Amino acid sequence: TETRPLPLSTVELQKRSSRWLKLSSAETMDIAESLYQRGYLSYPRTDTDIFKSSCDLRALIDLQRTDPRWGNFAAALLDTVPETAPGAFKWPRQGNRDDEAHPPIHPTKSAGPNEFQHAREKKVYDLVARHFLACCAQDAIGRQTTVLLKLGQCEIFEAKGLIIDHRNFLDVYPFETWRESS
């Protein structure tokens, strides 16, 4: 099993933006604040990594149906039944921080790929939206096999193989990978 990410806090947004988008913490927060002020993101300065049960996550996912990049994934989250089936919505994992002031960072409206003037805004929005959808998806499921071969008294060879049965959150979250090998 490859575990889906926790809901997005400020520190996690900064870490992931630095790692995957090559933006500094200050740049990330300036962009996120601008996106918040224009209504694209929730308040970006939060330690919270827990969505309260009163948060209508399905409505937030539904806003993403029209996006050509991940709209089909959002639709599948909502339309797949039963909820235990691969690809179906699953309530996000609970972190251990709740600042009691703001929910985790998430998109608050849909934004087409050409809606932003600056590429960095598009990248940060893309990261937040994909992260949100990934945390509302199921874990990736796979099987790994390890074969040990002992030749004589000294030589040991090891081979591992991974078969991914259900990619689930990995289909929308290209930042994390779980590579299949043979």
pLDDT in tens, 13-30: 999 999 999 999 999 999
Distance CA 43, CA 142 (A): 36
* Interval 162-166 mean pLDDT: 91
Mean pLDDT estimate for the chain: 94
The whole-number pLDDT of residue 8 equals 98
The whole-number pLDDT of residue 180 equals 57
Percent of the chain with pLDDT over 70: 98
pLDDT 10s digits, 64-93: 999 999 999 999 999 998 888 899 999 999
CA dihedral 24, 96, 128, 86 (to 10 degrees): 140
* The residue type at 164: I
Q: Report the phi/psi class of residue 87: left, alpha or beta, with left for phi > 0 and alpha for psi in -120 to 50.
A: left
Count Cβ atoms below 10 Å from residue 85 Cβ, excluding itself.
Answer: 11
The CA angle 63-66-68, to the nearest 5 degrees, is: 130
Residues catalogued as catalytic? 43
Check whether 182 has a pLDDT greater than 70: no
Check whether 181 has a pLDDT greater than 70: no
